[in-house]
């Protein structure tokens, strides 16, 4: 009787367990971080932190940083860095302020013009990196100083000697586009919730939270769009391929040059969007706006699972990484801890994230 042949399954056809699949998700560390930070503040912070108004308090700075972090994360997945994104906030604020105050342009012209200028600078960054072969770290570090200096000089020219340009709020008042980029959204819904006794109100019956700050909605929208692009479109595959192995991607027909330049443009546009929102909310712009935000955005992206070597990461991870920043920045004010501990937290979270991401990279690639 002949022996029954044994069927050997290809390793690639084996089904992974839920645990194995979860640990390979780039955003796992950031989600775990949000849970741990939430538990920490539930124990140590005043209960007001997790009321509706408290949540809006920490989500607002988280959203502003998060918009930058999503742009930084997409670029890092594509294998590049942009250290000029914080200076872009100041420079784009100058362009937007000059358009609205100095030139008197309506928002329907001022906003696209500001975004176009930012996209053009992002394209220049990308073109220099790809043309010269220089590390994007060096090229964008140069633009960090160029844009910051240009913001100082430009603001002095536009304002007559000051490093601030005021009057933006008056210039855009009544413009039909203004509610999309400043203030609170969904006001009527919150007013109805207040009447129904669902949300907290002042003595006169007005809701303590008049609506959702528009930057939070932009933050969520960008995170959803970026995640869809990465996971559900051919462009997403191109981004991962370009960051993982540029030569192999190029040999496979991926338009690496176009992909990388478009990512530099997207990161710059994210910086300009934050500039528009913050300038309209405050009514002015200044040369120090966005200071050090380039590093915080990259750290949020790393906490969110992006590898420094490219080819791996998640927009949703950057989303949660930014929320961690917002919670700690504002949450410390609800505790008795010295707020300078934030710097210690920043370094600690970065180190933990890099170690965790390195472990995940080895699991994914099979390295020992």
332-361 pLDDT, tens digit each: 889 888 877 877 877 887 787 777 777 766
**Per-residue model confidence (pLDDT) at position 339:** 79
Whether residue 321 is contained in a domain is answered as yes
pLDDT beneath 50, residues of the chain: 1
Number of domains in the chain: 1
**Per-residue model confidence (pLDDT) at position 149:** 95
**Per-residue model confidence (pLDDT) at position 155:** 92
Whether residue 355 is contained in a domain is answered as yes
Whether residue 7 is contained in a domain is answered as no
Whether residue 5 is contained in a domain is answered as no
**Per-residue model confidence (pLDDT) at position 151:** 95
**Per-residue model confidence (pLDDT) at position 32:** 84
Model's pTM, two decimal places? 0.91
Predicted confidence (pLDDT) per residue in 176-205, tens digit:
999 999 999 999 999 898 888 888 888 888
**Per-residue model confidence (pLDDT) at position 142:** 96
Domain, as residue range, for 344? 30-363
**Per-residue model confidence (pLDDT) at position 24:** 67
Per-residue CA distances from 306 to 119, 334, 354, 357 (Å): 23, 30, 9, 8
**Per-residue model confidence (pLDDT) at position 366:** 59
Whether residue 231 is contained in a domain is answered as yes
Cβ–Cβ < 8 Å for 77, 240? yes
Whether residue 1 is contained in a domain is answered as no
Whether residue 10 is contained in a domain is answered as no
Residue 294 belongs to a domain with what CATH number? 1.10.3470
Whether residue 18 is contained in a domain is answered as no
């Amino acid at each position: 009787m002949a022996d029954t042949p044994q069927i050997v399954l290809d390793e690639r056809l084996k089904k992974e367990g839920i645990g194995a699949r979860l640990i390979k998700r780039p955003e796992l560390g950031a989600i775990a971080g949000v849970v741990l930070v939430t538990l920490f503040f539930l124990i140590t912070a005043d209960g007001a932190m997790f009321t509706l108004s408290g949540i809006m308090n920490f989500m607002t700075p988280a959203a502003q940083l998060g918009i930058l972090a999503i742009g930084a994360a997409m670029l890092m997945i594509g294998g590049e860095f942009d250290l000029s994104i914080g200076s872009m906030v100041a420079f784009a604020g100058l362009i937007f302020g000059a358009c609205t105050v100095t030139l008197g342009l309506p928002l329907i012209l001022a906003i696209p013009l500001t975004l176009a200028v930012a996209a053009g600078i992002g394209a220049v960054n990308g073109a220099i990196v790809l043309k010269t072969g220089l590390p994007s770290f060096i090229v964008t570090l140069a633009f960090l100083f160029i844009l910051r200096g240009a913001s100082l000089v430009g603001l002095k020219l536009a304002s007559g000697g000051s490093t601030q340009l005021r009057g933006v709020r008056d210039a855009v008042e009544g413009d039909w586009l203004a509610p999309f980029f400043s203030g609170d959204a969904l006001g009527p819904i919150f007013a109805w919730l207040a009447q129904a006794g669902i949300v907290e109100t002042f003595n006169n019956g007005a809701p303590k939270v008049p609506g959702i700050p528009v930057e939070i909605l932009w933050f969520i929208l960008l995170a959803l769009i970026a995640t869809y692009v990465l996971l559900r479109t051919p462009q997403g595959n191109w981004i991962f391929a370009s960051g993982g192995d540029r030569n192999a991607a190029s040999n496979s027909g991926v338009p690496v040059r176009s992909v990388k330049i478009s990512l530099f443009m997207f990161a710059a546009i994210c910086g300009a969007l934050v500039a528009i929102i913050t300038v309209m909310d405050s009514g002015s712009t200044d040369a120090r706006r966005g200071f050090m935000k380039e590093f915080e955005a990259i750290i949020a992206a790393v906490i969110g699972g992006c590898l420094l070597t490219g080819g791996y990461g998640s927009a949703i991870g950057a989303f949660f990484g930014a929320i961690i920043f917002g919670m700690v920045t504002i949450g410390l004010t609800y505790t008795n801890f010295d707020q300078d501990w934030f710097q210690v937290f920043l370094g600690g979270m970065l180190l933990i994230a890099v170690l965790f991401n390195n472990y995940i990279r080895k699991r994914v690639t099979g390295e020992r």
